[in-house]
Amino acid sequence: MQVKRKSSWTRPKTALFLIIVLVLSFLPVASFLFFLKNDAFNGYFPSRFFISESLRSEHFPWWNPYINYGLPQYGDMNSGFWSPVTWLVALSSGYNAYSFTIELLFYLLVAGSGMFTLCKGFRFSGTVAAITGIAFMCSGYMVGHLQHFNWISGASFLPWCLWSFCTLQKRRSPKNIIRTALFFYLLVASAHPGIIIGSIYFFIAYLLFSFFTENEEAERPKKVSRFVFANGCMIAILLLLSAGMLSGYADILPHFTRGEKVAISAALENPFSLPCFLSFILPLATVKIDSLFHTDISMRNAYIGLPLLICFSCALFQKKSAFQKFFLYSGLFFLLLSLGGIARKITYQFFPGMSYVRLNGEFMIFCIFNMLLVAASAFDAALKRKQKMGNLLKRVIYFWIGICGIALVVGLIQSFGSKRSIFLQMNQVYKAGNLNAKLKAFIDGLHFFDCLWIQATIQMLFLILILWFLQKRKVRYLVWVAAMDLILATLLHLPFTGVGQTSVSKVQEVLNQSPKGIPIPMLQPVAAIHTIHETESALVGDWSFYNKQLGTSTFAFYPVELNETKNIYSEWVPRYISKPYVFIEGSNDSSAFNILAFSGNQLGLSVSTSSSALLVYKQHNYPHWTASINKQQIAIKPNPFLSIPLQKGNQEVWFRFDPFIVRWMMWLSISTGVLCIFLLAYLTVKQSYLSSRRQRPHP
């Protein structure tokens, strides 16, 4: 393979290339013509919306009173509460359907640029780095989990963490220590817990690998102190940065339904099942026949693009470097975890933290990540050898062409021979109404074998094109082949896993019905609270998350649920269904109240009673709530709702939520973060200045 190496991948060119591929691949999302479906707006947006609405009203969002009678926002691992990106959005544009969509696209761009930077850090060519960058950005994991916001945000920082971590092991400078700690904090503050747990194991393994392979045996005793000191400092800074987050999560765990270990039966659910291996070559075929794959549709796609699939296949049969062996075995380990079965049972029993991971398929991000690095290493080595296309490479390409050919024949025979193909039922599609309805009818009508032969045809054309470019020794054109391949694969998959039919503007129209800021709720029975049509609520989640009123008569699904929530809905909500969010037990007179102030963290009111009574505020009786009457603190009764005794007469009552320890730990994290950023900026400028001085010619 004769290649003329160039260093033409400058930063502006790389950024432009990644942005173009991102926009084209995720055009239904980037154009705002279609909204992010299911969990994105139902499970991840409401908390972010509340954070920005609280800041709009100059309230700090410690407690969210709108979700199932309240929960501590800082303990919500889906909310991005501890992520700097969340706060930047909330403090600037605020969260709406558009900014939320743009944030997701931003994470995808971070993923692609991080993989490019990592490959360049490993001294791979610009061509290899560019292909690997877009492969990670448009991988099957990203497309399949597009609606799982913190799965994408966590995965996006994974290559940046490895890049900075590798840099730290090579040069243990203060700048690299601080930068690595900051990137790791972005990962843990943005990621789903499963990704955090997987990352701990991955980076511990890489730390040991780098120490034993990069240091000669005779040099290890000399370098061990610097090794321990540098990595110890990085971990110490990371812990300081994470002090608020760790204290917040520790605070909620005893009161949280998912704070316990997952049952082993549940831990084996939703794996990357064996039939899902089809996604490596024919990803579209995995969107149909749930009974074949035995897992959620979001867990089935592991596509990395044809050029890197070919390179990875070749790497399996070639002599491997220590670098390739580590990432190959690491990827295999996470693949076994993703498959479930005996490997998952062993890690569940003996690996700390693994018993808390609920979805096996989540570990596929590490498998894909490792596969890409093995493939990129093999690709780069082939370019550096500057040899003609070898027999192994030819055989691998012909093998995949043969697989696609078989899939094409089987798909055509089964689709048209059985007369189940959607292409034989296009009249029903034409009668479906508007364009969106036609598109939905077509997608719903596609059969598994339709998807099989359509994807096989596309893949065969790309494989033949790759073979032709390699034979002509025009390797630089593989970047564009890889881009077209990934763009098309992503666009074909998005309607099934990523986007719904409705436009972002329609979703925003629903959100516009929500009152601005954090207003004082009306004193009205739960049944009288304004709701919206079911079709509108299906777009954004339960309307109680947005109507800025307190209380619901039925449980609203949300991933974070406190232990007392089920008890509240089974016993206490029916008991007080006709009461407003604050009331005197045994009295129907709401005129005795005058609301002085309201926010998520407090309620102030003046109360007039003619006799002793019990005042009830319909919020979870969670630790850190305090109550006072006429500025004298009073004990809250041990009821699921906040309840305090009142004496006869006029009284000023305040309920306040103040997580004292979490608050101070947050200030510690913020102070550490600001100091780290200033130090990093100073060290970077200083290094640049010294470098420029060294390059000046001496007189």
Do residues 138 and 305 touch, judged by C-beta distance below 8 A? yes
Q: Is residue 204 part of a domain?
A: no
- CA 142-139-276 angle, to 5 degrees, is 90
Q: Is residue 611 part of a domain?
A: yes
DSSP 172: -
**Lowest mean pLDDT across 355-364, 374-383, 645-654:** 355-364
Q: Is 298 exposed, middle or buried (0-12, 13-18, 19+ CB in 10 A)?
A: buried
Q: Is residue 214 part of a domain?
A: no
Mean per-residue pLDDT for 658-676? Answer: 97
13: which 2 tokens?
Answer: 């060119």
Candidates 76, 86, 74; CA nearest to 601 is 74
Number of domains in the chain: 1
Rounded CA-CA distance 351/141 in Å is 24
Give the three-class secondary structure for 118: helix
423: which 2 tokens?
Answer: 């292409």
Q: Is residue 593 part of a domain?
A: yes
Q: Is residue 694 part of a domain?
A: no
For 649: left if phi > 0, alpha if psi spans -120 to 50, otherwise beta; the answer is: left
Phi, psi angle pair for 27, to nearest 5°: -55, -40
Query: Residue 628 is part of a domain; what is its CATH number?
Result: 2.60.40
Q: Is residue 282 part of a domain?
A: no
Mean per-residue pLDDT for 456-462? Answer: 96
Residue carrying the six token digits 């700097």: 84
Q: What is the pLDDT of residues 240-273, one digit of tens each?
A: 999 999 999 999 999 988 777 777 877 788 899 9
- CA 494-157-374 angle, to 5 degrees, is 80
Give the three-class secondary structure for 559: coil
Q: Is residue 82 part of a domain?
A: no
155: which 2 tokens?
Answer: 């995965």
Confidence band of 590 (pLDDT split at 50, 70, 90): low
Mean per-residue pLDDT for 421-441? Answer: 77
Average pLDDT value for the chain: 90
| Range of the structural domain that residue 626 is part of | 582-658
Confidence band of 49 (pLDDT split at 50, 70, 90): very high
Cα–Cα distances (Å) from 69 to 120, 458, 531, 635, in that order, read 50, 51, 17, 20
pTM of the model: 0.93
Residues in CB range of 212: below 8 A, 6 or more apart: 220
Do residues 178 and 165 touch, judged by C-beta distance below 8 A? no
Q: Is residue 591 part of a domain?
A: yes
Predicted pLDDT of residue 636: 94
Rounded CA-CA distance 388/285 in Å is 34
Predicted pLDDT of residue 4: 42
Say if strands 602-609 and 593-599 run parallel, antiparallel, or are unpaired: antiparallel
